[in-house]
Structure 1
């Protein structure tokens, strides 16, 4: 099986998490109760094996179609016939897709799809539409669950990713060895003989038009947003980094400077807000700043290293995001191996994008290291999570408004103040 990398914001801040989880309600505090519970065992669902946990393989997905309908997909334990033309290395599986009406709990539509590997196979596109991957062919679907051809790639897909508004699609494929490889740079070694570089395509999702392309030595996680992408450039002094937005056409827009002893990562939460995570001080904590496209600091929090393998889900209107990560039984370094016994639980928090206010924290069970077991409705007013044999749906109040821009300061000054207070 060709290695498929379902990139997303999870890879951007690996081995980091926020202190809010540490303050989560105790087990004796039930917290907010779900508005609806939808049992999943009658649908044919069974928890995946630990094989999926350790290798971060996709075994299911949970998404809102609209505020009253969910799309739930999962690996179905069933025998499969080998098909003529199956390639060596295929790891075929049956994925059951079910559209559920929340208000009645009824199954609206149900189909079974045959997938040829264990990589991520579904991405939300917005507007109740979804991208489906079967090997290197892409389809779209909606509440009908009918697969409509979208793109067929001639080279193996390594990564797929949408911008927060669903207008841009990042496609990364393995480049044939016969093509010209990128030359060496001062920062990167010469690719090994026989390796296959990665070709990157930036595509208009609505028209499938390629608007930019590049070649790299390996797959990358590009934080795409609006009509371009975010990047961090080192000022090479005082550990300062310039955060800027780079449009496909036009001049880069400088947003702000952040102090960091490591290269900051950028996670677009909406078309207007990007999460910038940098290393500050010697505690191992990360200062995470929500920065607007005007370069204003909306809020800032400290994220610790007690959680690993984070995953995100965003409301379509950008009002809220959900953040999930795995709580470990002990501190684990970024490069340390992880075993099943190292994982204690999966926690998911729901935040207001504009203010960083934590609305709730819930556990997910079974633990899914690849994520996609929690979701926000398009308007951000409903949260769903797979837990203890049911899909739990929670109603949320409208998201808080943004802070007054006149009271906002730069990320640099706030981070420096935080470091000074710790000394």
Structure 2
């Protein structure tokens, strides 16, 4: 009986550990001023995501996707609403999360391994051994499928480097070396083909399930295979929630509202078409002199009004759906896949902020020297340009007499030299 009891207790403890890693936000609202008027960019957005889960945030341009990520990451202060992690609002978002922006910001002359190593050194506390850093870098590269290009440079306009998809994975790797509890990604598949986008998100999902990371990802028009990698979807339009729930229930949900998904159509694309209010002016509706007919303009305004009314209907339908869901089962089931406990960040020596600042300065100085040394052509051209300018200024002004009447000429020399 004892072994069975111990095994049962161990399972319960692990399940509790997995289930407790929950990031939740309630009624998040964000307003800002535009041309003297208050504009609501987010209106009462609520959702939650557990460790090992991936939440897709979709919506047309201007729906508030990036604004929501910025609010969750603490880059923007919410007007109202509450964020909580494991049931408490007293937590440091900076300490437990990483944010992957839409654009890659990488030094092209560094190799993949060097890039991740410098990031790991900056992220880890002072005193962590080189072996621990290398082990974390190696694990990250293996998890993202970058081991075979570890010694390849990122790439510059002059030197060919790794592919676009691999660059995105390196950027994501920079965020994952610390194994954050929450990973925020702003359109990580932007600019990638469908196959590469699928591979990138598949690697993220694998790492999220392995290390119990809650992933919140904005994504633009994914294909069905990519969309299926997410457990949950949050659809936004004009800052309001149109749908929140399992990705596989998107099509049935809108079908129940009278908008069935056509055969052979991606449910994600179908949902985005329904909630999009963008009205693109058709070239056939423009008169030869480049103006739009008044009747067509009126029809255009009417269509936009109908679309906005439809958004209101979707928002109200979701509110009713949310109330029905809250009346019975809560979000207590565990996600698919085997999850392991979150790996803790290695502990180094307890150090003051001064020693940490010094350590970061040394690391960044080293990285800059490596960057300069491998960019000799670019910096050589710049030094040559400065030398040429110095010779030119000296040739023009070297025989300038030291008299009061030429003081303006001397001021011109100083101004030109500083500029």
Decide which structure has greater strand share.
Answer: 1
TM over 0.5: no
Q: Scaled by the length of structure 2, what TM-score is found?
A: 0.25
Structure possessing the higher radius of gyration over alpha carbons: 2
Question: TM-score normalised to the size of structure 1?
Answer: 0.25
